[in-house]
């Protein structure tokens, strides 16, 4: 098991020993269609009511030191045109060897393009805290030389997005992190160490097809583009039964296949589950039992009358 942990943190070892310049990717989600605020600030308030959501993802279950991610956000409208929110994303790898925490405030402004269609513009501002524990790295590379036992840096961040949505369709484009922060330069190792956070571009879209009065088909896509890394494409197909149960599948291009399940427990609570299985060589290893996500959303009751058209996104 320790051998596999060495593989998982090899990039961190490289960061402490030689010059590199790499493009750090944001955390990934299988249930991205429910976790939209984490990738597009223009989503804030678009559901027309205040809501709180949380997501936990365990990557590569069974692998010691595998990544895990947690997100929390709250958002809602303050007027017909303005939405606000707060988003927190935390991920770690290597049994807390490397920790990333993002805290952002979001703001959106919506223009009605018709009676039911809207175009929203979003901004977010906040910061990113990166912690790297060199003591844990030394367990796998005793000769690792650094000027301190802990690399810790807080860097500011801004992001932007645009989001067009109707009762049955949405499309959005966003860049959650516009500032390209450099890490590890002049870290005291005797060499130049640079890790650069690159801009991640997200393109998302989805549609609802009415198959009959009790069954709806909800396909969705997400493309993530970043300089220095392959294009990532996520494709999902969900069936909504009686507007309560969601069953579907997803495919991450050249990476994983997924099963999804959702349950609208009542007007306020919604539960989502997802399980991923790698289609790469990593998926066939004995120490990898796949990846798991759990999502929970709570929406506060509106003081005004309930919309005649239910919200699907």
pLDDT digits 0-9 by tens, 259-274: 999 999 998 999 999 9
- Residue-level pLDDT at 9: 45
Predicted pLDDT of residue 14 = 38
pLDDT of res. 15: 40
Low-confidence ranges of the chain (pLDDT < 50): 1-23, 187-192, 308
At residue 127, the pLDDT reads 92
Rg value, the chain, Cα: 21
The pLDDT assigned to 117 comes to 96
User: What is the predicted pLDDT for the residue at 262?
Assistant: 96
271, 43 in Cβ contact below 8 A? no
Mean of the per-residue pLDDT values of the chain: 83
Residue with tokens 């989503």: 43
Question: What confidence score (pLDDT) does residue 289 get?
Answer: 82
pLDDT at 147: 54
DSSP conformation letters of the chain: -HHHHHHHTHHHHHHTTS----BPPPP--S-TTT-GGGT-GGGTTTTSS-EEEEEEEE-STTSTT--EEEEEEEEEESSSSEEEEEEEEEEEETTTTEEEEEEEEEEEEEEESSSS-EEEEEEEEEEEEEEEEHHHHHTT-TT---SSSEEEEEEEEEEEEEEEE-SSEEEEEEES-----EESTT-SSSS---EE-PPEEEEEEEE-EEEETTEEEEEEEEEEEETTS--EEEEEEEEEETTTEEEEEEEETTTEEEEEEEEE-SSSEEEEEEEEEE-SGGGGSTT---EEEEEEEEEPPPSSPPPSSPP--
Report pLDDT for 211: 96
How much is the pLDDT for 18? 37
What pLDDT is recorded for position 108?
98
Predicted pLDDT of residue 251: 96
Rounded (5°) CA angle 240-245-246: 55
Compute the distance between CA of residue 2 and CA of residue 251 in angstroms, rounded to an integer: 30
End-to-end Cα spacing for the chain: 41
2-299 is a CATH 3.40.50.300 domain:
no
């Amino acid at each position: 098991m320790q051998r596999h942990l060495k593989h998982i943190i090899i990039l961190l070892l490289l960061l402490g020993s030689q010059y590199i310049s790499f493009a750090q990717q944001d955390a990934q989600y299988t249930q991205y269609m429910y976790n939209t605020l984490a990738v597009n600030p223009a989503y804030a308030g678009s559901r027309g009511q205040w809501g709180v959501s949380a997501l936990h993802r365990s990557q590569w279950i069974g692998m010691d030191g595998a990544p895990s991610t947690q997100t929390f956000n709250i958002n809602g409208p303050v007027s017909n045109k303005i939405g606000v929110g707060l988003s927190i994303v935390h991920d770690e790898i290597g049994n807390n060897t490397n920790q990333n925490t993002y805290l952002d405030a979001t703001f959106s402004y919506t223009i009605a393009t018709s009676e039911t269609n809207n175009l929203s513009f979003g901004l977010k501002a906040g910061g990113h805290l990166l912690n790297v524990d060199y003591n844990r790295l030394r367990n796998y590379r005793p000769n690792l030389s650094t000027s301190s036992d802990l690399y810790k840096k807080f860097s500011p961040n801004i992001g932007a997005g645009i989001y067009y949505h109707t009762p049955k369709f949405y499309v959005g484009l966003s860049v959650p992190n516009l500032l390209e922060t450099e890490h590890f330069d002049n870290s005291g190792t005797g060499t130049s160490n640079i890790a650069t956070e690159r801009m991640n571009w997200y393109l998302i879209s989805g549609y609802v097809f009415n198959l009959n009065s009790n069954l709806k088909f909800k396909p969705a896509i997400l493309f993530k583009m970043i300089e220095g890394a392959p294009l990532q494409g996520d494709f999902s197909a969900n069936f909504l039964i009686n507007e309560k149960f969601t069953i579907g599948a997803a495919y991450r291009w050249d990476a994983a296949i997924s099963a999804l399940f959702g349950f609208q427990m009542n007007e306020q609570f919604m539960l989502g589950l997802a399980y991923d299985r790698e289609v790469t060589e990593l998926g066939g290893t004995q120490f990898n039992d796949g990846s798991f996500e759990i999502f929970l959303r709570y929406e506060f009751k509106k003081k005004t009358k309930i919309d005649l058209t239910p919200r699907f996104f």
